[in-house]
Amino acid sequence: MPEPSLALRGVERRYRSEAGELPVLRGADLDLHAGEIVALVAPSGTGKSTLLHVAGLLEKPDGGRVLVEGRDSGNLNDDARTALRRETIGFVYQFHHLLPEFTAEENVLLPQLAASRPRRDAETRARELLGAFGLDHRRDHRPSRLSGGEQQRVAIARALANAPKVLLADEPTGNLDTGTADRVFTELLAAVRGRGLAALIATHNPELAARMDRTVTLRDGLIVPA
Ligand SMILES: Nc1ncnc2c1ncn2[C@@H]1O[C@H](COP(=O)(O)OP(=O)(O)OP(=O)(O)O)[C@@H](O)[C@H]1O
């Protein structure tokens, strides 16, 4: 078996507050291989977002390890971890999180410039990606002038901008009406499959989960088959 694109090994995450300590992840394990799309379906408050943020190197685990293509993120300083995240992981949120003062094209361009891609290459890639999501005519629009479905398509294009190996998504179509959600989700799956990425996608929708390769859930802070 080749090395997983993303591996969680005994990942722990707990939140501290005045009320005490809340252990959310208590030793979570996961292997996610290239070409594999996994649904994460679990009740509200069980830790899906926490898991995605830790897996996506946005939050550090309190224990255990997160390995991306075999590289242990725990051994890296903050800059190196940010660079690893930028180069290997794309993240799609429920609410698009696009930068409001920038156009669609600029939103897809900026992560590439942050990763030191030459501007001309980055512009070409941003246009290709927006074109692939049917957004040629929306390139120069700011997010507020886009529909919800268009905003999420731009967010997906942005997540793919640095050609990641792993795509993580937290309810990526949870904010859209049913018909739009279905279309955007179909496009997301096609983009992930076409690129052979490893993906972990949180959803509350069993029909969307059924379109992925397998489903996992969170139980008592562990990742288990659903
Ligand atoms: N920064 C934080 N500080 C303190 N507690 C937090 C923090 N983030 C999350 N929690 C708590 O940790 C638990 C898991 O939260 P998380 O957002 O990961 O759940 P979730 O499964 O994604 O929920 P939902 O489906 O409602 O989005 C919840 O009880 C939440 O209140």
In one-letter notation, the amino acid at residue 86 is R
Name the DSSP letter for residue 196. T
Question: Can you tell me the mean pLDDT for 17-46?
Answer: 95
pTM listed for this prediction: 0.96
From CA 11, how far away is CA 3, in angstroms rounded?
A: 18
From CA 11, how far away is CA 52, in angstroms rounded?
A: 12
Please state, for a pLDDT cut of 90, what percent of the chain lies above it: 96
Which residues touch 210 (CB under 8 Å, ≥6 apart)? none
Query: Ligand 1 centre from 15 Cα, in Å?
Result: 9
Question: Can you tell me the mean pLDDT for 156-163?
Answer: 98
Domain that holds residue 154: 33-61+74-225
Q: Tell me whether residue 111 is in a domain.
A: yes
From CA 74, how far away is CA 59, in angstroms rounded?
A: 11
**φ and ψ at 36, to 5 degrees?**
-105, 130
Number of domains comprising the chain: 1
Q: How confident is the model at residue 111 (pLDDT cuts 50, 70, 90)?
A: very high
Cβ neighbours around 75 below 10 Å, total: 10
Q: How confident is the model at residue 43 (pLDDT cuts 50, 70, 90)?
A: very high
In the chain the beta strands, taken as DSSP E runs, fall at 6-17, 20-32, 37-40, 63-68, 71-72, 89-92, 166-170, 198-202, 214-219, 222-225
Q: Tell me whether residue 3 is in a domain.
A: no
Q: Tell me whether residue 99 is in a domain.
A: yes
Q: Tell me whether residue 66 is in a domain.
A: no
Q: Tell me whether residue 151 is in a domain.
A: yes
Please state, for a pLDDT cut of 70, what percent of the chain lies above it: 100
| Ligand 1, pocket-test mutation among 11, 13, 15, most atoms within 8 A of CB | 15
- Residue 17: the pLDDT is 86
From CA 114, how far away is CA 190, in angstroms rounded?
A: 26
CATH no. for residue 154? Answer: 3.40.50.300
pLDDT digit string (tens) for 118-159?
999 999 999 999 999 999 999 999 999 999 999 999 999 999
| Ligand 1, pocket-test mutation among 11, 14, 24, 218, most atoms within 8 A of CB | 24
Q: Tell me whether residue 69 is in a domain.
A: no
From CA 14, how far away is CA 140, in angstroms rounded?
A: 42
- State the complex-level ipTM: 0.95
Query: Ligand 1 centre from 160 Cα, in Å?
Result: 26
pLDDT digit string (tens) for 50-85?
999 999 999 999 999 999 999 999 989 999 999 999
